[in-house]
A and B are shown apart, each in its own frame.
Chain A
């Protein structure tokens, strides 16, 4: 059974640009959650999608948005990038309480 995949794995952008990250969940999983990991903050919850609807949202500015498609694949978008957005972005899919994480996308903002 294929695991959670994320693309791209690495990304370099400059301030002010926007970026879209993609997450393909484990087949059959309808819930996809996104997390940001920075050295000082640890893993922080961004949002969760279930059946194409945002079900939970963390405390991040409106520049962070996401969506989910009918095949459960999810995308996360960050507009007007700031230096502080440099982080590892992880997505996780789940069928029940247990969440399965992807390898993450390392975003560097210059």
Chain B
């Protein structure tokens, strides 16, 4: 059974600070790693899909790295803004379209 873990569960950060959190997954039979941002009362929004060891992806102030050999991915947010407040989910594929999600990291940006 694929088990995806995220840490920390929640995080409070001052506006302007940078932050990062972790997603851990089994390194065997890896297919792809997904990051989503989920704001309250909205749909989960896809941030990144990564497949190759060493992948680094960036979207504005948010970036992610992937290490498939050791089974982890980091999500970084540079210069946090209040609009970054959301739950950040990572998920691994178990089968082409079958995503296994972590419990998420709830990020709160304090103005």
A residues within 8 Å of B by Cβ? 3-4, 31, 33, 35, 42-45, 48, 50, 55-56, 58, 90, 94, 97-104
Nearest 10 CB-CB pairings of A with B: A43-B101, A56-B98, A101-B43, A101-B44, A48-B97, A42-B103, A56-B95, A103-B43, A97-B49, A98-B49
What is the distance, in angstroms, from A105's C-beta to the closest C-beta of chain B? 12
Q: Which residues of B contact A48 (CB under 8 A)?
A: 97-98
Q: Which residues of A contact B36 (CB under 8 A)?
A: 101
Q: A43-B91, A97-B93, A99-B34 are in contact. List 4 more A-B contacts (CB 8 A).
A: A33-B99, A45-B100, A97-B96, A99-B97
What does DSSP make chain A's interface, helix, strand, loop or mixed?
strand
Chain B window 75-111, contacts with chain A (Cβ cutoff 8 Å), 1 for yes, 0 for no:
0000000000000010101111111111110000000
What does DSSP make chain B's interface, helix, strand, loop or mixed?
loop
Given A42-B101, A45-B100, the answer on whether A98 and B42 have CB atoms closer than 8 Å is no
Chain B window 9-39, contacts with chain A (Cβ cutoff 8 Å), 1 for yes, 0 for no:
0000000000000000000000010101000
Given A33-B97, A55-B97, the answer on whether A42 and B42 have CB atoms closer than 8 Å is no
B46 at the interface (CB under 8 A from A): yes
